[in-house]
Amino acid sequence: MRDLTLTTSDQLKKRHAKETRFQWYGRIAILISLSFLVFMFVAIFFRGAGAFQQTKIGLDINFDQTLIDPTGTGDPEIIANANFKPLITKSLAQAFPEVTGRSETRALYKLISSGSVFELGNMVKENPELIGTSQKIWVTATSEVDLYMKGKIDETISQDLRRLKDRDIAWVKQLQESGVIKRKFNTALFNNGDSREPEMAGILGAALGSFFSLLVCFLISFPLGILTAVYLEEYAKKNRITDLIEVNINNLAAVPSIVFGLLGLSIFLNFFNLPRSTPLVGGIVLALMTLPTIIIASRSILRSVPNSIRDAALGLGASKTQTTFHHVVPLALPGMLTGTILGMARALGETAPLLMIGMVAFIVDIPKGVTDVATSLPVQIFLWADSPEKGFVERTSAAIIVLLIFLVLMNLLAVYLRRKLERRW
């Protein structure tokens, strides 16, 4: 008998040291990657957090009937075409009686976002009874004022180098003193489409564009992908042709996404003349891109359905089709759905192919269907990141946060579906 205690003590120490060392290598690796991730999230969050709040200025606005609807018809068209700017300038003149002169009043008006006239317009359109009354309305301040309020403008640098001059700052301070300038939740970010003015720009258009694209993508890629996977896995004979198809599917999954964009451009836009810049084409292109992923995932799920289930059904005298659709596909469906959702999540974050089919345009309107021109969230991020206005910096981050939240939600949904629907066999 060899002694179990003494002879190995030296080796034992070495071995233990080695094991501990390797464990620490692993921990350090995890720590490094985690810290990158945390750094990214924290940076984006801090930059983007401000965008969820917006500076508003409270003005006493007299909805003067003579200015909005002089004849008192109540016709929405007349109200829509009315000029609301004088309402604001009048109100400002009341608030700042000391400001006179053309350039001064214009500068004062510049504190208010040019989009606020549309806000007022919409307000009146929805509540025509406002006409003729006087209300305290919180109108949106310009991005510059907003940035100043969030402390992002350095007052010490020369006023020639900033757009918000010392005079403007003085007015803002005056407003602050009278308590009519406030930061409120930024509804514009979620309700508006894109805009040249950072304070009016929102992601609703882009989000809906993404939604419609994904809808088209799902409707095309899910049935196609699953039927392809089922046929290849359950019915197709193993021969050269199926081998070739399989190799090509695997290759397609590795094709850079921009190539799919070019394909969409040349086939769907130039050949089929489908409407440019629309979620329809975007969705088709994304579907092409996700198809290989879905097929590969679905096939591996189908393969993981144990053969004993097929044998059991066939042995009972079920036909091939009955076996496949009564047993195999229902068992594989949760997995297929999960694979599809993950594929869609990837498509949601995709920019390059959409650039090629014109979904990169500046689009203010909010799309109402798959054939309306639209852009998508990641493209919107790209566009804002590219914009010179300082106000877009935090909006870019905010849009990224929204996009990340959607991605996380989709992944969670995939996990949930897998947990919930997965069957044991």
Residues lying near other proteins in the complex (CB under 8 A): 237-238, 306, 308-319, 322, 326-327, 331, 423-425
Give the amino acid at 295: I
Contact 108, 165 (CB under 8 A): no
CB 243 → other proteins: shortest distance, Å? 14
CB 327 → other proteins: shortest distance, Å? 6
CB 325 → other proteins: shortest distance, Å? 11
When the beta carbons of 215 and 236 are compared against other proteins, the nearer one is 236
CB 242 → other proteins: shortest distance, Å? 11
C-alpha span between 309 and 305 (Å, rounded): 7
When the beta carbons of 314 and 417 are compared against other proteins, the nearer one is 314
When the beta carbons of 2 and 238 are compared against other proteins, the nearer one is 238
Contacts of 284 (CB under 8 A, 6+ apart): 216, 217, 220, 264, 268, 274
CB 331 → other proteins: shortest distance, Å? 7
Task: Return the exposure string of 178-214: e unless at least 16 CB atoms fall within 10 Å of the residue's CB, then b.
Answer: eebbbeeebebbeebbbbebbbbbbbbbbbbbbbbbb
CB 9 → other proteins: shortest distance, Å? 40
When the beta carbons of 103 and 239 are compared against other proteins, the nearer one is 239
Give the amino acid at 108: L
When the beta carbons of 214 and 331 are compared against other proteins, the nearer one is 331
| CA dihedral sign, ordered 315, 295, 221, 267 | negative
In 3-state terms the chain splits into helix, strand, coil percentages (rounded to 5) of 70, 5, 25
Closest CA to 230 of 313, 331, 318, 311: 331
When the beta carbons of 110 and 326 are compared against other proteins, the nearer one is 326
Cβ burial of 164 (10 Å; 0-12, 13-18, 19+) is: buried
Cβ atoms < 10 Å from Cβ of 336: 22
C-alpha span between 204 and 367 (Å, rounded): 9
Give me the residues paired with residue 112 across strands: 141
Per-residue tokens: 53: 């709040």
CB 247 → other proteins: shortest distance, Å? 20
When the beta carbons of 330 and 369 are compared against other proteins, the nearer one is 330
